[in-house]
Structure formats: structure tokens, C-alpha cells
Structure 1
Amino acid sequence: MKLIPAIDLRGGRVVRLQQGDYERETRYDDDPIVLAKRYADAGAGLIHVVDLDSARRGGEANLAIIERLCTEIDTAIQTGGGVRSREDFRRRIDAGAERVVIGSLCVRDPGAVAEWLAGPDGARIVAGLDVAQAIDGGWMPRAAGWTESGEVDLFTLLERLVNAGLKHLLCTDIERDGMFAGPSLALYESVCDRFSSLAVQASGGIGSAADLVEVAQTGAAGCIVGRALLEGRVDLAEIQKWSR
């Protein structure tokens, strides 16, 4: 398993949101370029960058910074936020992103994403699915900043996307995101068991190095760590440890 540092951008600054709530934002003094270099120097093989402004309103608010990250940092960049059309996807690829995360569109229009997966850059698509547990214990994908629920459960949606060629999944338990509440281990274990061909990136709830060990045992290929790195709950040395 790889530790994947996360950088969330809003107004060009490094921030973190609690449970995706824009009103519960923590700002950090780090310059995103300097922070990314710090993660690269610590051994990161991939850095996850989220454009929160574009995720909320569409467009390419922080695309210039993302392009700088792609060109100035000697580490692959995975980026998401606001990818709502083929043109949005293409702009991020042209900016130099190694992978592009597509979230709400997977939930709202999986047919369109399936078409992109069949294209020349399909292997660079990451389905970014934010999920909430239903009363029956199943997992339902959410869209539009977690305000809309999908029409089908997580496994049904993944079945369609995997059959279309999906190779990468970033899955977040929205109840745990940014809360240091521990990772949703049963969720990741069930996804990895059912879709063995998927490289699953676990996201949400990481608060300690011990959490990383537990996530690795689920079969996840990667673990997104944002706030815990920024606030020192997970030491930078863990990046190198999980890069082997």
C-alpha cells in the first residue's frame, strides 16, 4: 500500500474541510508548491490535489496552481474537483496530471464516464466515490458536495464502471472525512474483496500511523492522508515507509 498525501486548494490556499462542509474550513499557512515539494522530498510517489473551488462551482479555479505542481514537482499528481465534462477532463490531462478524479459525474451520468474509460486516457481516470451508509447497511454514493444521493448502491455502480474498464477507485466514507475517527475498514475490505482488479484508494478518518497499518490489511492499494499529515498526527517519515 502507498501513502498518498493530499492537498486541498481553495482560493489558491491549502485548506481542509470537515466532512466536506465549506463552512467548517481549516486554513494552513503552507504554500501549496512548497508543501508538495516537502511531500515529494519525503518520498511520495503520488500526490492527490483537490480543487475545492471548482468542485463547488465548476470551472478551473485552481488549475494554474495544479499545472505548476505538475511541472515543478518531481512527483506524479492526481487531481480532482469540478470535472463535469470531457473538456474539463482534457484540461487537467493537458496540465500534466497523471490521473484525474471524477466524482459526481460517476453518480449522475455513469454512461458518460464509461465512454471516457474506453478512450485513450481511460486508464488515467479515478472514480472518486463519496459514500454514506444506508439504514440497511449498504453504501450509497453521494454527489454535489454530498448533498445528492445516487440512484444505485456503490457495488451496482462499481460493477458498471469496472465492466467499462475502470482501474482506479478513490472511496471516501463521508462521515469520517477530516474527523480523525479512524478509517472505514469494513467498507474498504468489502470493495477490495468484490473487485479484485481495482486499485482502491482509501480516504477518510486517518488520524494515526496505526490507522495506516489497518487500512493496508484491507487490501487497499493506497491511502489518502491530508489533515493528519498537516497537523503532525502522521509523521512525514511514514510517507517513505509506505513507498516501498
Structure 2
Amino acid sequence: MLIPALDLIDGRVVRLFQGDFAQKTEYPLDPVQQAQAYKAAGAEWLHLVDLDGAKDPAKRQQALLKEITQQSGLRCQAGGGIRTQQDLDDLFAAGIERVVIGSTAVNQPDRVRHWFTEYGTDAIVLALDVNIADDGKAMVATHGWQQSSELTLDNVLNRFLDVGCRHVLCTDIAKDGTLSGTNVALYQRYKALYPQIQWQASGGVSNLQDLIDLKRVNCDSAILGKSLLTGQFELQEAIACWQNA
């Protein structure tokens, strides 16, 4: 499916370029109304990134996240600085159905393995964001993409298969926010290697052909952020394109 995304800072809709807070674009949109518009256009799920929470979990936009879930009618997944079990409980209390976990899954895998057991396989999305090395390996980055790990996507993912990991949001960092096209080969490779995973492609979608290309390699979902905010296409036509690809 196609999943529209809203990145939030201080109650405002923004986009960062390749995760860089210094390269921020703000959009004159009310996040609740925008979520409702996505619902009206046919969306079923919404991806929310709490960038305040990513910087400081104490500043998580809890009230706004709850308002979006209650007012939009969309099923929501959300992330941004998820470090403790209380962070998960707070998001679930706000009506979030899936919590998106990134750096903690890389740096504290045993903790996250416990969360899979505690909350179930459908309650957690692993956000594994990668830089493609010169040798083609997908190397996982952490801490808002500011730090690189020594682990490949395979290394990290294999830690969670036996506890039922089902949803992975994978971003090619070099593509994020660029509208330069998506890394179809990345998702083709990993869907073939791990067919049991529901893969969410993120980064670089710029036109409807990108969506057709992802669908043709059996990618399960695509996250649409900047492409919708900048009017590259309308969500309604994108959904029709995806369904017919």
C-alpha cells in the first residue's frame, strides 16, 4: 500500500533533507487537516515522524499525535527517539498502532527483542536506514543518520527474525528528500532475501513511474513524504497507479 508521511516539529509539518535539521523546509499545513485530506484521498495508514521526540523524548508531541489519530480516521505508525518501554506505552496510549524503532534496535537489540515479545509482531516497525557502500553493501546508520554503524542491513535484521519481525521501513539515506528516484534494486534484493517481511520503501519517490517500479519488484509499501507535499502527484492518482501496476 501507499503510506503518506508527515514529519512534525513543534506542531508544524516539515521536511528535512537527508535527516539534516539545518536543511529544513516548513509547509503551511495544519497536520490534522492534512491527515484528514489523506484519508479522504483513500489512504489507510499514516506515517508520523516526531522530530521533537527524536531530539528529546521529553518533548514528544504526544497531544498532537493523539489528535491526529483521533481526528483523521487513519491507522497510524509513528517514531522518533523511541528508547524506553514508556515511550512505546505513551504512543500506544495516543492511539498509535505501530511504533517505529530505529537506533535502539541497532544499539540495544535485546531490549527491542523483548518488545516484540511483549507487544506482538504487528506493533513494531523496524526503521533500518542505510548508506550504500562502494561495495554495494547496505550499511545501517543511527541517531538520525548522524552516525554510521559497522552493521549491514542483514546483520541487524537477522537479530529479530526469530522473534517475529514482520515490518521493516528501509530508507536509502542518499535518496531521502531528493525527489531523485527510489533505489528499486535495494528493495528487489531484500524482498527476495526476506519474503516474509513487509517492506516499506522510503526515500526519493518523485513520480508515478517510481511507484510502478517498486510494485513490480514486489515491494509491499511505499512511504510518500515530499512528493505529496510538493505536488509531484496527487495521492488519489498514486493509489490508483499502485493498484493497477
Q: TM-score range by the shorter chain?
A: over 0.9
1:219 is paired with a residue whose SS is coil
- The one-letter amino acid of 2:158's match is E
**TM-fit CA distance, 1:218:** 2.0
Distance 1:114 1:41, change over 3 A: same
1:189 aligns with 2:213: no
- The one-letter amino acid of 1:185's match is V
- The one-letter amino acid of 2:233's match is V
1:238 aligns with 2:237: yes
Structure 1 unaligned regions, length at least 5:
none
Instruction: State the 4+ residue runs in structure 1 displaced beyond 3 angstroms.
Output: none
1:108 aligns with 2:77: no
Aligned to 1:128: 127
**Percent of aligned pairs with the same amino acid:** 39
1:73 aligns with 2:102: no
- The one-letter amino acid of 2:13's match is V
CA contact (8 A) 2:208 2:238 kept: no
Aligned to 2:217: 218
User: C-alpha distance in 2, partners of 1:238/1:130?
Assistant: 28
Aligned to 1:48: 47
User: C-alpha distance in 2, partners of 1:132/1:240?
Assistant: 28
2:60 is paired with a residue whose SS is coil
Structure 2 unaligned regions, length at least 5:
none
1:92 is paired with a residue whose SS is helix
- The one-letter amino acid of 2:179's match is F
Superposed counterparts of 1:142-221, under 5 Å: 142-221=141-220
Aligned to 1:16: 15
User: C-alpha distance in 2, partners of 1:23/1:37?
Assistant: 29
**TM-fit CA distance, 1:239:** 4.7
User: C-alpha distance in 1, partners of 2:218/2:71?
Assistant: 32
- The one-letter amino acid of 1:117's match is F
**TM-fit CA distance, 1:120:** 3.2
Aligned to 1:83: 82
User: C-alpha distance in 2, partners of 1:63/1:18?
Assistant: 24
1:118 is paired with a residue whose SS is helix
Over residues 204-224 of structure 1, what are the superposed CA-to-partner deviations in whole Å (9 max), with x where a residue is unaligned?
001111111111112111100
Aligned to 1:39: 38
Choose between structure 1 and 2: higher helix proportion.
2
**TM-fit CA distance, 1:236:** 2.5
User: C-alpha distance in 2, partners of 1:86/1:22?
Assistant: 26
- The one-letter amino acid of 2:142's match is A
CA contact (8 A) 1:202 1:222 kept: yes
**TM-fit CA distance, 1:73:** 1.3
User: C-alpha distance in 2, partners of 1:120/1:211?
Assistant: 34
Moved more, 121-130 or 83-92: 121-130
**TM-fit CA distance, 1:123:** 2.2
**TM-fit CA distance, 1:151:** 3.1
Distance 1:99 1:243, change over 3 A: farther
Over residues 93-124 of structure 1, what are the superposed CA-to-partner deviations in whole Å (9 max), with x where a residue is unaligned?
11101111001111111121111111134421
Higher relative contact order (CA 8 A, sep 6+): 1
Q: What TM-score results when the alignment is normalised by the length of structure 2?
A: 0.95
CA contact (8 A) 1:131 1:141 kept: yes
State how many pairs are aligned: 243
User: C-alpha distance in 2, partners of 1:240/1:135?
Assistant: 35
**RMSD over aligned Cα, in angstroms?**
1.3
